[in-house]
Amino acid sequence: MTSLLEVSGVSVSFDGFRAINNLSFHIGSAEMRAIIGPNGAGKTTFMDIVTGKTKPDEGRVIWGERSLSLLGLSEARIAREGVGRKFQKPTVFEDQSVQENLLMALRNRRGPFSVLFYKTRPDHLARVVELAEEIGLSDQLQRTSGELSHGQKQWLEIGMLLAQEPRLLLVDEPAAGMTPAEREHTTNILVEAAKTRAVVVVEHDMEFVRRLGCKVTVLHEGAVLAEGSLDHVTANKEVIDVYLGR
């Protein structure tokens, strides 16, 4: 499998603290990967680097077939290249309707003038309805998204992510604050998405990771500690020491 994203030898320090230390990571174009690790292991910083929010001090981030370097591109440009990100806290545009949120996320031209002259097209609306069905919000399309429950907001954000049609999804703790039934639904959405694209899930909850049934990368102190199946990494002595044993 060719890799879609290749991060190699990346380091970044904040005020002398090495948040990421010579980290290397790669993922194929249709693969699911879970990243686990204790607090401060650098999971969020890793996502910040890939999405362009944080510039690393050294290292390379190479993207796609054309081996494009993502370093030095703006966040918006990286997003247009096909990297989608879901934040830990659900961030949807609360004073706008579910439909407006999804329409805004829908893959389309992003320039101000093409957006200014944009007219809602039937096929776009159809796609929005389809997405709403997928995330279980079909009957909530006209609702202001601020009124949704926590779990529904999480889904809406996942829906917006899917609407972007990214080639790589970075998902930060998607199951936080969800009921067991909601978790299962979330798992299904993610597993389905990983059939056609790369999905990276950062998660604390081992049970959730187990259900994803994918390769796991354990981060510790800004570097990869172990990589492999969940059973493989949970049997690893070092992993038990730094993470699971506590």
Positions that interact with other proteins (CB under 8 A): 51, 53, 74-77, 79-80, 84-85, 87, 91, 93-97, 99-100, 103-105, 110-113, 115-116, 118-120, 141-142, 160, 164
- We find the least distance from the C-beta atom of residue 27 to other proteins, in angstroms, to be 19
By beta-carbon proximity to other proteins, the closer residue of 200 and 223 is 200
By beta-carbon proximity to other proteins, the closer residue of 198 and 223 is 198
Q: Is 147 helix (H, G, I), strand (E, B) or coil?
A: helix
By beta-carbon proximity to other proteins, the closer residue of 163 and 239 is 163
- We find the least distance from the C-beta atom of residue 86 to other proteins, in angstroms, to be 9
By beta-carbon proximity to other proteins, the closer residue of 193 and 233 is 193
CA dist., res. 60 & res. 80, Å (int): 19
- We find the least distance from the C-beta atom of residue 110 to other proteins, in angstroms, to be 5
Residue 179: what are its φ and ψ, rounded to 5°? -75, 160
By beta-carbon proximity to other proteins, the closer residue of 131 and 218 is 131
By beta-carbon proximity to other proteins, the closer residue of 100 and 227 is 100
Question: 76: closest CA among 43, 42, 115, 122?
Answer: 115
Element (H, E) at 87: none
Question: What are the structure tokens assigned to 11, written together?
Answer: 């380091």
Question: 3: closest CA among 55, 68, 98, 97?
Answer: 68
CA dist., res. 238 & res. 244, Å (int): 9
Three-state SS annotation for 154-202: HHHHHHHHHHCCCCEEEEECCCCCCCHHHHHHHHHHHHHHCCCCEEEEE
Cβ neighbours of residue 219 closer than 8 Å, sequence gap 6 or more: 23, 35, 36, 37, 41, 42, 43, 46, 225
- We find the least distance from the C-beta atom of residue 203 to other proteins, in angstroms, to be 20
- We find the least distance from the C-beta atom of residue 85 to other proteins, in angstroms, to be 5
* 63, 84 Cβ separation under 8 angstroms: no
By beta-carbon proximity to other proteins, the closer residue of 153 and 183 is 153
- We find the least distance from the C-beta atom of residue 60 to other proteins, in angstroms, to be 22
- We find the least distance from the C-beta atom of residue 31 to other proteins, in angstroms, to be 21
